[in-house]
Amino acid sequence: MKSPLNTPIFNILITLFFAYALPVVALGPLNNELSLFYVNHKHPVLNAGQNILGDIIIKNDNPAGFKLTLQSNHHGMLTPVSSDNGELAIPYTLQFEAGSGRIGDGIALNMQETTLHTEHILLTGTSPSNSTDISLRIIAILENFNPSQRLAGHYRDVIEVHYTNY
Amino acid sequence: MLQRCSFIALIVSFMMSICIHALEKETFILDIYVPMISRFSLNLAVPSIKNGLNVLGRFQVENNTRDGFSISISSKNNSHLSPISSEDGEENIPYFIHLQRIAGTLSTTTIENTTPLLTMGETSILSNTLQDAVTNLSYRIYLTLDDSSHLLKMAGSYSDEITIKYTDI
C-alpha cells in the first residue's frame, strides 16, 4: 500500500508550508533567545492595606532587550460602575517586590510605588549584556478603606500588563 | 521517513513560536462589590394612652448608601388628640413626642432631632445625606400627654395619626 506521505498531494502541502510558514518561523526569536512572560494570579478579596494581586514572571535573553509596563484603565482609581447612590471612586497604589532571580545588566527596574495615574514602566532595556530571569510581586494598597464600614457600590478597575520583546 | 520527521519538527517549532509570543498582555482585575443595605422597621407598642409618659414603640434604621437617607414624622392633628365629636364639650388634648436612641452610634454627618415639634407639619427626626460610615440606629418613641384639664377622665373618644416616613435618597 502506497504511503500517504509519498503522494503528490502531500508534496504540494509541504511546499506550501515551507513557502508560507517558514518565513513566520524564521522571524521568531530562535537564535538562542528565550522570551517568556506570564502571571501567577492570586485573586485576592480586596481589603484595606496590602492585597497581593499576583507575580509576574519574565525570562528573556534577547540581546535587543524588552519592556514591561503596567497601565490602569481608570488611572489608579477603583471606579464605581454606577453612581445611583452617590458612590465615589476609591484610590489605590501599587507596590512591587522582587522575588527570586536576576535582572540582566542593562535592564532598568523601577520598583517605586506608583499611583498609576500614568503608565508605569517596570522593566526596560534595549541592549542587555546578559539574561533576565525574575519574578516580581504586584501588590495593591488600599488606604482609607475600612472593610467594616463599606458603603454600598460596585467598584472596579483593570490593570493591563504589557510585555514587549524587541 | 526523513521527510515526515522534518515536517513534524517544523510543525512543532512553529507552534512553539506561536505559544512563546502569544502572551504579550495580561490583566489584573480589581473588583469590590458591596451590596446595598436600606432597612427601616417600626415596632408599635399599642399602649393604653394615659396622662404623662407613654411608650409608643421603637424604630430601627440601617443604611449603607453614600447619599444616605431621611426619616420624618408628622401628626394628622398637629400634635393633638382630637375628639371625634365635641357634642359633650370635648376638646383637643395636646401631646408631644420625644425619641431616645437605644442602639448605635451617630456618625459626624448624621443630623438627629429627638424632640420634633409636630405642630409644624412634617418634621425631620433623622437624616444623613453624605454618609461616610454605615448607619445602624434604634430609637424608642415616647408620647407625653399634657392632660392638665383632666379631659381623659371625661367622656369622649380622642385620636390622632402619627406618620413616620423613611426615605432612601
For chain A (166 residues), the mean pLDDT of every run of 10, in chain order, is 69 62 37 82 92 96 93 95 84 94 94 97 93 96 73 93 94
How much is the mean pLDDT over chain B? 86
Confidence band for B12, pLDDT divided at 50, 70 and 90: low
Paired strand residues for A164: A67
What distance lies between CA A81 and its chain's CA centroid? 25
Of B64, B58, B59, B66, which Cα lies nearest the Cα of B38? B64
What distance lies between CA A57 and its chain's CA centroid? 8
Cα A59 to Cα A103: distance, rounded to the nearest angstrom: 9
* Residues of chain A neighbouring B31 (CB-CB closer than 8 A): 46, 154-156
- B32, A156: Cβ pair inside 8 Å? yes
- Interface predicted TM-score of the whole assembly (ipTM), two decimals: 0.79
Predicted model pTM = 0.68
- B34, A152: Cβ pair inside 8 Å? yes
Phi, psi of A21 (to 5 degrees): -80, -35
Q: How does pLDDT run across B51-91, given as a tens digit for each residue?
A: 889 999 999 999 999 889 999 999 999 999 888 888 877 78
**Is A88's Cβ below 8 Å from some Cβ in B?**
yes
* Residues of chain B neighbouring A147 (CB-CB closer than 8 A): none
pLDDT of residue B49: 86
Cα B91 to Cα B72: distance, rounded to the nearest angstrom: 27
CA terminus-to-terminus distance, chain B: 78
Residues in contact with B12: Cβ distance below 8 Å, sequence separation at least 6, in sequence order: none
Helix (H, G, I), strand (E, B) or coil at B151: helix
pLDDT of residue B20: 45
| CB B108, CB B51: distance < 8 Å | no
* Residues of chain A neighbouring B65 (CB-CB closer than 8 A): 85-86, 151-152
